Structure 1
Amino acid sequence: MSFLLRLTSRLTGRQVGTDRFGNVYFESRRLQPIYNRPRRWAIYARGGREPTVVPPEWHAWLHHTVAEPLPEQKRYPWQQEHRPNLTGTPESYRPAGHDYVGGTRRVTGGDYEAWTPGA
């Protein structure tokens, strides 16, 4: 993130916390005049603007669903770790037949007849 964003975040807001991914969360010191509540924002650890890196506990707080950030609870073996949106990355989902996977699609059945008008 830019130096200016970090500076203005420290001057106009108060740091509320940091998540396990290194994202830092802020809340403004003054209330917004229209909504009568403080503004909330995050500075992402990975840089850039990728809001899918925010875990569910902090997502609820950012969107004013809960008043205080939810505690990070014990992870059960069946729970998966939060992952950001992988679209456009090498780890994104590619179904069978995709050009990057080899480009061979499964053979369609032989029972299909193309429709021809007037036949």
Structure 2
Amino acid sequence: MSFLLRLTSSLRGRKVGTDRFGTVYYEGKTSQPIYDRPRRWAIYADGGREPTVVPPEWHAWLHHTTPAPLPEEKRHPWQQEHRPNLTGTPHAYRPIGHDYVGGTRRVTGGDYEAWTPGS
């Protein structure tokens, strides 16, 4: 994160909180004239710009769905831990037949008949 971004965030906004991944969230001190609500933004811990690292509790607050951030605790046993987007990493989903998994597709069934016009 750049020095200018830190300086601007501290002067024009107030720190609302930090999530468990280290991302810091800010809210503007003044309301925007069009929407009549303050601007909200995040400064990511790793210095990158990967919005998928924002957990759902803070995502709702960033998009003005909730007035305050939701508590970051598991409320139901079916809820899973937040994971960032894994596309392009070794943990990404690769179906059977993908080149990285061996590249062999299963043989088709043989029950397919091509349609020909006029028959």
Q: TM-score under structure 1 normalisation?
A: 0.90
* Structure 2 gap ranges (5+): none
Q: Which residue of 2 aligns with 1:45?
A: 45
How many angstroms apart in 2 are the aligned matches of 1:97 and 1:56?
33
RMSD of the TM alignment (CA)?
1.7
Q: CA deviation at 1:3?
A: 1.7
What CA deviation, in whole Å up to 9, does each residue of 1:15-74 have, x standing for no partner? 000001110000011111111110000001122111110001000000000111111124
What CA deviation, in whole Å up to 9, does each residue of 1:63-90 have, x standing for no partner? 0001111111245554321001111111
Describe the SS at the equivalent of 1:39: strand
Q: CA deviation at 1:111?
A: 2.4
The list of structure 1 runs, each at least 4 consecutive aligned residues, that deviate by more than 3 angstroms after superposition, is: 74-78, 113-119
Describe the SS at the equivalent of 1:100: helix
What is the aligned residue count? 119
How many angstroms apart in 1 are the aligned matches of 2:74 and 2:94?
32
Structure 1 residue identity aligned to 2:27:
E
Q: Which residue of 2 aligns with 1:103?
A: 103
How many angstroms apart in 1 are the aligned matches of 2:87 and 2:56?
19
Residue 62 (str. 1) matches residue 62 (str. 2): yes
How many angstroms apart in 1 are the aligned matches of 2:84 and 2:35?
29
Q: Which residue of 2 aligns with 1:87?
A: 87
* Structure 1 gap ranges (5+): none
Q: Which residue of 2 aligns with 1:32?
A: 32
Describe the SS at the equivalent of 2:39: strand
